Amino acid sequence: MSRSSSPSSMWAQTWSLIRPYFWESPQRASALALIAFVLVLSVFGGWWQTKLVAWMGAKTNALQSKNREQFYALLPDFCWLLLVLIVVVVMAFYLAEVLEIRWRRWFTKRLLARWFEHRAFYQLELMRNMPGSQMPDNPDQRIHEDVQRFVSSTCSLVTGLMVSLATLVVFGAVLAGIDDGADLMIAGEAVNIPGFMLWVALLYCGAGTLITYWLGRALKQMNFELQKREAHFRYHMARVRDNAEAIALDRAQEIEHFQLDQKLEALLQSKYALVKRQTRLSWFTNFFSNLSMLFPYLVLAERYFGGHISMGTLVEVSMAFGMVQTSLSWFINNFSGLAEWRASAQRLAELESALDRAVEPSALHHDSVDSHLAVEGLELRLPSGQLLLQNIAIRIEKGCNVLIGGPSGCGKSTLLRAFSGIWPFAKGHVSLPDKVMFIPQQPYFPEGRLRDALAYPSHAENYSDTQFAQALMQAGLSALQSRLDDFEAWQSLLSGGERQRLAVARVLLKQPAWVFADEASSALDNASEARVYEALTQMAQRNGGAVISVAHRDSVRKYHQQQWLLDPKTHGLNAAMVTERPAPSSTATAC
Q: Which of 61-75, 449-463, 566-580 has the lowest mean pLDDT?
A: 566-580
Rg (CA), the chain: 35
Question: What pLDDT does 558 receive?
Answer: 92
Q: Which of 39-43, 105-109, 212-216 has the lowest mean pLDDT?
A: 212-216
Question: What pLDDT does 193 receive?
Answer: 62
- Give the count of alpha carbons within 13 A of 309, CB side only: 22
Mean pLDDT of 188-200: 64
pLDDT at 452 over 90: yes
CA distances from 40 to 36, 95, 517 (A): 6, 12, 63
Nearest to 208 by CA among 311, 329, 110: 329
Nearest to 486 by CA among 439, 442, 454: 454
Nearest to 160 by CA among 71, 96, 223, 233: 96
Report residue 27's pLDDT band, with 50, 70 and 90 as the boundaries.
very high
Question: b/e string for 502-517 if b means 16 or more Cβ within 10 A?
Answer: bbbbbbbbbebbbbbb
CB atoms within 10 A of CB 143: 20
State how far the Cα of 432 lies from the Cα of 418, in Å rounded to an integer: 11
User: 183: part of which helix (H) or strand (E)?
Assistant: strand 182-186
**Per-residue pLDDT tens digits for 292-301:** 777 777 777 7
- Give the count of alpha carbons within 13 A of 576, CB side only: 12
Question: What pLDDT does 12 receive?
Answer: 84
Q: Any idea where the domains of the chain sit in the sequence?
A: 8-358, 363-590
**Per-residue pLDDT tens digits for 524-553:** 999 999 999 999 999 999 999 999 999 988
Find out whether 179 and 196 touch, Cβ atoms under 8 Å.
yes
Q: What is the pTM of this model?
A: 0.74
Question: What pLDDT does 190 receive?
Answer: 53
Residue with more model confidence, 336 or 183: 336
Question: What pLDDT does 536 receive?
Answer: 96
pLDDT at 184 over 60: no
pLDDT at 154 over 80: yes
DSSP string, 391-405: EEEEEEETT--EEEE
State how far the Cα of 130 lies from the Cα of 307, in Å rounded to an integer: 78
DSSP reduced 3-state for 458: coil
Find out whether 352 and 136 touch, Cβ atoms under 8 Å.
no
Select the CATH number that applies to the domain covering 8-358 from these four: 3.30.70.100, 1.10.3720.10, 1.20.1560.10, 3.30.1360.70.
1.20.1560.10
Looking at domain 363-590, its CATH superfamily turns out to be P-loop containing nucleotide triphosphate hydrolases (3.40.50.300)
- As a whole-number percent, the residues of the chain with pLDDT over 90 amount to 33
Residues in the chain: 591
Mean pLDDT of 248-259: 82
**Per-residue pLDDT tens digits for 130-140:** 766 677 778 88
Report residue 178's pLDDT band, with 50, 70 and 90 as the boundaries.
low
Find out whether 492 and 521 touch, Cβ atoms under 8 Å.
no
**Per-residue pLDDT tens digits for 475-514:** 999 999 999 999 998 888 898 899 999 999 999 999 999 9
Question: What pLDDT does 302 receive?
Answer: 72
Sheet strands side by side (includes 583-585): 436-439, 514-518, 547-550, 402-405, 562-567, 572-577, 583-585
The one-character DSSP state at 523 is T
Find out whether 532 and 521 touch, Cβ atoms under 8 Å.
yes
Q: Are strands 562-567 and 402-405 parallel, antiparallel or unpaired?
A: parallel
Report residue 194's pLDDT band, with 50, 70 and 90 as the boundaries.
low
Question: With 0-12 CB in 10 A as exposed, 13-18 as middle and 19+ as buried, what is 438?
Answer: buried
Which residue type does 390 have? Q
Question: What pLDDT does 276 receive?
Answer: 85
CA torsion, ordered 29, 33, 34, 38, to nearest 10 deg: 150
Nearest to 548 by CA among 367, 371, 400: 400
